[in-house]
């Protein structure tokens, strides 16, 4: 199969099916109205280490006057968000928070998730997530039909249960990744290779 992006309606299925597994940014924000929002985004990654910057890129909302979904709109208005890492035990509640809710209704409440207080930003963390990054807005960039949100990490919460000798241990972090459609993957099957000199 050969695909010309100009000749197909969308490359979403091809991109989302081939770039796998994708880590999931479970992003919590608080709107100016005080309502806590929580939504998962699988277009997510680390961008820089110094300063520490992460990104997620929500697809724009054609139904919104600003073209933005609740999460990026809240980030634009408040300048803050938290990225919560999704583990296997949190996969079902994470999926529940992907539902489209009316304005003023919180996904935390819909999914019956406990909030944990953040240290440097107003939005709460998801209680029970082993890793959470409190972020301030670094920059927002329109990219085609999406908006890339870059956040500078201001504080990190790491559960001691996923550490070894004071460092995060990926063997203990059962992170979940997004595949395509309704398929997800765990990080249970692993292998190691030494980088050549």
Instruction: Give residue 103's pLDDT.
Output: 78
Please compute the mean of the pLDDT values over residues 169-189 and round it to a whole number.
94
**What is the per-residue pLDDT for 32?**
94
83 CB-side CA count, 13 A:
28
Residue range 93-120: average pLDDT? 95
Please state, as a whole number, how many other Cβ atoms lie within 10 Å of the Cβ of residue 80.
21
Lowest mean pLDDT among 105-109, 112-116, 175-179, 188-192: 188-192
* Domains parsed from the chain with CATH numbers: 12-186 (2.30.110.10)
63: pLDDT strictly greater than 80: no
pLDDT at 159 over 90: yes
Q: Is the pLDDT of residue 72 over 80?
A: yes
What is the percentage of the chain residues whose pLDDT exceeds 90? Answer: 91
Q: Any idea of the CA torsion for 150, 187, 93, 75, to the nearest 10 degrees? A: 0
Q: Provide the pLDDT for residue 18.
A: 94
State the greatest distance between any 2 C-alpha atoms of the chain, in Å, as a whole number: 55
Residues 6+ apart with CB under 8 A from 152: 51, 52, 53, 135, 136, 137, 138
**Does pLDDT of 104 surpass 90?**
no
Residue 195 is predicted with a pLDDT of: 95
Q: What is the pTM of this model?
A: 0.94
Can you tell me the mean pLDDT for 114-123?
98
Does residue 66 register a pLDDT over 80?
no
Percentage of residues in the chain having pLDDT higher than 70: 99
């Amino acid at each position: 199969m050969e695909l010309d992006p100009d000749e197909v309606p969308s490359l979403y299925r091809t991109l989302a099916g081939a770039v796998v597994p994708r880590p999931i940014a479970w992003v919590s924000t608080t709107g100016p109205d005080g309502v806590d929002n929580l939504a998962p985004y699988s277009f997510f990654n680390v961008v820089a280490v110094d300063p520490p910057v992460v990104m997620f890129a929500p697809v724009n909302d054609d139904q919104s006057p600003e073209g933005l979904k609740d999460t990026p709109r809240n980030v634009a208005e408040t300048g803050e968000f938290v990225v919560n890492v999704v583990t296997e035990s949190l996969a079902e509640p994470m999926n529940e928070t992907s539902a489209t809710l009316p304005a003023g209704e919180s996904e935390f409440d819909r999914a019956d998730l406990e909030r944990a207080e953040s240290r440097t930003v107003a939005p709460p963390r998801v209680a029970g997530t082993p890793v959470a990054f409190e972020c301030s807005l670094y920059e927002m960039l329109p990219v085609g039909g999406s908006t890339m949100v870059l956040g500078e990490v201001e504080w990190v919460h790491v559960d001691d249960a996923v550490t070894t000798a004071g460092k995060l241990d990926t063997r203990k972090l059962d992170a979940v990744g997004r595949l395509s459609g309704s398929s997800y993957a765990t990080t249970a099957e692993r292998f190691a290779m030494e980088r050549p000199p």
